[in-house]
Amino acid sequence: MSAKPPIPRDEIRALTEARLTFGPRGRSVATPEALAFALDHARARAAVAAELDLPALIAALDRLGMAHRTVTSAAGDRATFIRRPDLGRRLPDSAAEGLTDIGPCDVALVLGDGLSATAVALNGVAFLSALADRLTEMGLSLSPVILARQARVALGDGIARAMGARTVVMALGERPGLSAADSLGAYITHLPRPDTQDSARNCISNIRAAGLPVDDAADQAARLIAAMRATGQSGVTLSRAMAAGSLT
């Protein structure tokens, strides 16, 4: 029985963005691979350090007719945000007071920088616009888009509580790897509290052109929100119920 011919390397590389090494290994990395690594590393560092381009985001939201507000976490600036993740999760009292005139609403829509403002610039407005269309068709009331600077995931909880929202969608840039500095994540939490655990959130990850398309991500998010409203649950408990087929 003859052995199967090996799969061409180009076909293998087309299946993944992971770094692959073929052939013999020497003492040093080949120059093209070393340069590619350096470029991807620089892109990842730039994504983490980048600030939200507020004028561009505001202009995009205005073109779509989507109302918006801007808040900044207790981290205040990028250097503090990177050193103090805990401050990026906290909404200052003054910022919370500035949102109390909005609610109550069914769903709070938050767009934060997270660890990649690059991802937000490329995918953030498109995702929230597509999701807003679906939620409006479901008859749900929505907050203005809250543009959140120096934001970690849990910042959305304080924003939602300030507006009296039952569910919050926090879309923000994911931690960039060495192959994807433009990946947006959407974290959805039902009935957020000051002590909400990450296990109570549902996450849709890798929203980008080379990953999960915006429309598919919006469809998934809308289904999750509908299930949350039907069950009063989110996070691991909801995921288990959906996997078991107990939700229709």
Q: ∠ CA 146-162-102 to the nearest 5 degrees?
A: 60
CA angle 110, 96, 59 (to 5 degrees): 40
Q: What's the CA gap between 52 and 167, in Å, rounded?
A: 24
Q: Render each residue's pLDDT in the chain as its tens digit; 248 residues.
A: 566 666 677 777 666 666 666 666 667 777 777 787 788 778 777 777 788 899 999 999 999 999 999 999 999 899 999 999 999 999 999 999 999 999 799 999 999 999 889 999 999 999 999 999 999 999 999 999 999 999 999 999 999 999 999 999 999 998 877 667 789 999 999 999 999 999 999 999 999 998 999 999 999 999 999 999 999 999 998 998 888 776 65
Whose structure tokens read 């200052």?
Answer: 92
Phi and psi for 2 in degrees, rounded to 5?
-75, 145
Query: Which residues, in sequence order, are CB contacts of 77 under 8 Å at separation 6+?
Result: 150
- Amino acid 6: pLDDT: 67
pLDDT for the residue 39: 82
**What pLDDT does residue 200 have?**
93
How high is the pLDDT of residue 5?
A: 66
Residue 153, marked binder = yes
Give the per-residue pLDDT at 153. Answer: 95
Global pTM value: 0.84
Is 203 annotated as belonging to a binding site? Answer: yes
> Does CATH number 3.40.50.11240 belong to domain 54-243?
yes
- Taking CA 144 as the corner, what is the angle to CA 143 and CA 150, rounded to the nearest 5 degrees? 105
Q: So what's the pLDDT on residue 31?
A: 78
Where are the domains positioned within the chain? 54-243
How much is the pLDDT for 81?
Answer: 92
